[in-house]
Amino acid sequence: MSRASSIPLYKTVLGFRILWATLAVFALNSLIPLGTSQALLVGAAAAGVLAFSRLAHSRITNLGIGTASLALVALYYTGFWFAQFVAVTLGFKGFGIDIIKLHSGTCLLSFGVFGIAAAIFWRARWAILAEVTAFFVVAISLFSGHRDFHLDKPKILNSLAWQLRVDHLTMLIFVGTALLVTGAVYLYCASLAVRPRTDRTTYQRAPAGRQVIISSIMCGVVAALICFIQQMLYAHFNAVVLARAANGVGMSSSEGVSPLSFQSALGSTNQPAGLVRLEGDYANNPFSPMMYMRENALSSFNGKEMVFAGRAYDADLPLVTTRDSFSRTEDAELGQRTPLIQSVYLLADHDHVFAVDYPISVVQLKNPSPKRFKATYRAYSVAPAYKVSSLDSIQVGDPRWSDDVRAHYTAPHPDPRYTELGKKLTEGASNPIEKIRALTDHLSRTAIYTLTPNHETKPQDDPVAPFLFGDHRGYCVHFAHAIVYMARGIGIPARIGTGYLTDLSQAKDGHILLRMSDRHAWAEVFVSGIGWVPFDVQPDQVESHAETQVDSKLLEELMGVLEPGEEILPKDSAKSEAGMEEPETVWIPTKATLLMAVASLLACLIAAKIILRHGWRVAPTPSLKLRLGYIAIASYLHDIGWSRQYGETRSEFAQRCDPVALSELTIILSRKTYAKQPNFSAHEVRTAIQRAAIRFTQLPLRTRLRAAINPASLIRLISGGNW
């Protein structure tokens, strides 16, 4: 096979190598700032790939390539040594020369590393295996940071997700799929690319056309299989993320189901979950600087763990989706509270709204940035304004409760050890509030906070017992269950609250950035005339999941996107008032829609033209390759102004427009059409097409550009014109 026949694969492999070099430069610069312009480094890497690939395809031996590389390095340092010597001799400080030497040295390193790698690739067959191994090692190392659902790692993907405004899981799956697909395509092209021989100037014979087609089909099947697998992975892990979220606290709220996980928490991920803006001061916050935002409550025991009991009991919860509105009458029996308005802008998917206790209204807000925020709403709460120290003399439970409701909130755990330990820890306490504090203080002293408690339990076993009666290793889910079980065992009405616990000291101008690591579960006790009060364990011993600072730059960026919240009236309420119905309007496409339509049309036209010009390359039979090749050449001539006239034969057309380009193809096509036993091979057809294509490379650049962008051939093809 001739050199020309291997040029497409050669160029494809070069393109991939330049792409890998570009990605490597950007990845390395994100991990270790190089101080030199990334554009210069990428340019040097591309130059190295091209230069050393050219050397690898020459008659120069491997030793010669190595000697030339060392000579280049020696020449570089000798030149700068001489420049510095001249600068010192003439009295210059030479600072500018040092700066140039620093940046040019980095560029030379980029040039040499990627260039030598390209030379080794072309000269050594084992280089493909080594590169693929290195590729997957780097990819696995890159993605290993997000283990245990740390979706904000690695940092480079986290930043890219924010720039493209997609969620972190989607970015991880997409980048992983893209790397696998491009890696498979590169491996395919690299394995087919013809290697030079140092003892000859010609290329080795490339695989046969049918083999290439079969290999291409297999490569496409592998790519489709990878894409299918990534869809399944996304569906599975997205469900896990929504169910468990972070710190073992998920978002589900189905009756009889727990959103909590005991085996392992998702980790201290800093993935942003939402932005909360307090519309006013909250100086009376009893838990300052911390603030609880409840999303759900678990008050029913299913024989294994606490689960959601439904609206029949936990009526204080709004339990509406993030796109619904909610309102109710304020409970006049609950005192020591203050109005608090919170505007919430969700950065991650949530099943239900969350707000500071006790919300009486939730309305939708106009989304200031639909590409960034998943949903927006405003919650009106009568928030706690009591002092925690003032609760000691108040009784627990609601006098309005029926016996059934009171029994529901005080139902003890069937394991008597919880009741026995609760009584033991509260000996000497004079009132229920002192007792619940004694329980939380005990766990705060003895519990060890860890994200991986590694308790070995069977699916039907109690997951809290190994924590409380064992090694005391766990996280908020274990703490909350233990407190509720012991509190109920001594007659105190208790439940588990879930949602977010955020640190107001890291807020900025009333804006709070919620992260997945802020998801939390805590124990709650109903105090008469006050409502549900959090009693949270704060362990002194922390094995993992240390607190991290909020990303202030991201917070300021999101604050800049916000606008004054514009409330959206519920549709039902608008219909009930005269004159509030929205008139029916004709749909008018937006600029984005029009641009998308134009871009899609252009993409289709470009794809059609590529198929028209290069479809012959993948034709499985010589006959079809001949037909498609003739159409490709004729379409090119049509785009530069040479069209076959009505009634004109192919031979007449070839002689009139360009005999060199069409004569050989026309002869073979005529032989196929009129000969009784046409005899021609795929090699003969391919050679004729390539000779015609070489003819076009001799045309002026302006003519070739016109042929590339002229849609005349596509119009002729669509209209059914004769080629």
pLDDT value at position 569?
54
pLDDT value at position 577?
41
pLDDT value at position 694?
77
Instruction: Please give the mean pLDDT across all residues of the chain.
Output: 79
Amino acid code (one letter) for 548:
T
Question: Residue 339 above 50 pLDDT?
Answer: yes
CA distances from 354 to 245, 256, 318, 550 (A): 14, 20, 8, 20
pLDDT value at position 444?
95
Do 516 and 151 touch, CB atoms closer than 8 A?
Answer: yes
More confident site: 384 or 685? 384
Phi/psi region, residue 94 (left: phi>0; alpha: psi -120 to 50; beta: rest), is left
Lowest pLDDT segment from 67-81, 189-203, 671-685: 189-203
pLDDT value at position 401?
93
Burial of residue 431 (number of CB atoms within 10 Å: 0-12, 13-18, 19+): middle
N residues, the chain: 723
Question: Residue 85 above 80 pLDDT?
Answer: no
CA distances from 118 to 58, 188, 302, 354 (A): 14, 17, 63, 55
Question: Residue 517 above 80 pLDDT?
Answer: yes
Question: Residue 210 above 60 pLDDT?
Answer: no
Burial of residue 490 (number of CB atoms within 10 Å: 0-12, 13-18, 19+): buried
Mean pLDDT along residues 666-677:
74
More confident site: 524 or 703? 524
pLDDT value at position 201?
38
Mean pLDDT along residues 364-377:
89
Mean pLDDT along residues 11-25:
81
Question: Residue 341 above 90 pLDDT?
Answer: yes
Amino acid code (one letter) for 347:
L
Angle, to 10 degrees, between the axis of helix 416-425 and the axis of helix 476-489? 80
Question: Residue 327 above 80 pLDDT?
Answer: yes
What's the predicted TM-score (pTM) here? 0.57
pLDDT grade, residue 1 (50/70/90)? very low
Q: Element (H or E) spanning 513, and its range? A: strand 511-515
* Rounded Cα–Cα distance for residues 114 and 107 (Å): 11
Lowest pLDDT segment from 144-148, 229-233, 633-637: 144-148
pLDDT grade, residue 472 (50/70/90)? very high
pLDDT value at position 263?
64
Lowest pLDDT segment from 79-83, 326-330, 528-532, 573-577: 573-577
pLDDT value at position 60?
80
Rg (CA), the chain: 36
pLDDT value at position 40?
85
Examine residue 589 and say whether the peptide bond preceding it is cis (omega within 30 degrees of 0): no
b/e per residue 236-269 (b: at least 16 CB within 10 A): eeeeebbbbbbbbbbbbbeeeebbbbbebbbbbb
Percent of the chain predicted with pLDDT > 70: 74
Lowest pLDDT segment from 10-14, 225-229, 405-409: 225-229
* Rounded Cα–Cα distance for residues 636 and 100 (Å): 48
pLDDT value at position 721?
62
pLDDT value at position 226?
66
- Residues 146-172 have pLDDT tens digits of 555 555 566 666 666 666 666 667 777
> 107: number of CA atoms within 13 Å, CB side?
18
pLDDT value at position 653?
77
Lowest pLDDT segment from 67-81, 329-343, 456-470, 655-669: 655-669
Question: Residue 464 above 90 pLDDT?
Answer: yes
Mean pLDDT along residues 593-603:
77
More confident site: 483 or 196? 483
Question: Residue 660 above 70 pLDDT?
Answer: no
More confident site: 281 or 526? 526
Handedness of CA 317, 320, 321, 325 (dihedral sign): negative
Handedness of CA 464, 465, 469, 474 (dihedral sign): negative
Question: Residue 266 above 60 pLDDT?
Answer: no
pLDDT value at position 572?
46
pLDDT grade, residue 209 (50/70/90)? very low
Question: Residue 355 above 60 pLDDT?
Answer: yes
Question: Residue 220 above 60 pLDDT?
Answer: yes
Q: Which long-range contacts (CB under 8 A, 24 or more apart) does 673-676 make?
A: none
Mean pLDDT along residues 407-429:
93
Alpha helices in 339-454 (DSSP H): 403-410, 416-425, 432-446
Do 156 and 86 touch, CB atoms closer than 8 A?
Answer: no
- Residues 173-204 have pLDDT tens digits of 777 777 777 777 777 666 666 555 444 433 34
More confident site: 300 or 100? 300
pLDDT grade, residue 634 (50/70/90)? confident
Would you state the torsion angle of the CA atoms of residues 472, 478, 481, 485, taken in this order, to the nearest 10 degrees?
-20
Question: Residue 480 above 90 pLDDT?
Answer: yes
Do 453 and 475 touch, CB atoms closer than 8 A?
Answer: yes
- Residues 604-615 have pLDDT tens digits of 888 888 888 888
Q: What is the DSSP annotation of 36-84?
A: S-HHHHHHHHHHHHHHHHHHHTSS--HHHHHHHHHHHHHHHHHHHHHHH
First to last CA, the chain: 30
Handedness of CA 140, 146, 148, 151 (dihedral sign): negative
Mean pLDDT along residues 517-540:
93
pLDDT value at position 358?
92
Question: Residue 478 above 70 pLDDT?
Answer: yes
pLDDT value at position 542?
86
Mean pLDDT along residues 286-301:
93
Burial of residue 128 (number of CB atoms within 10 Å: 0-12, 13-18, 19+): middle
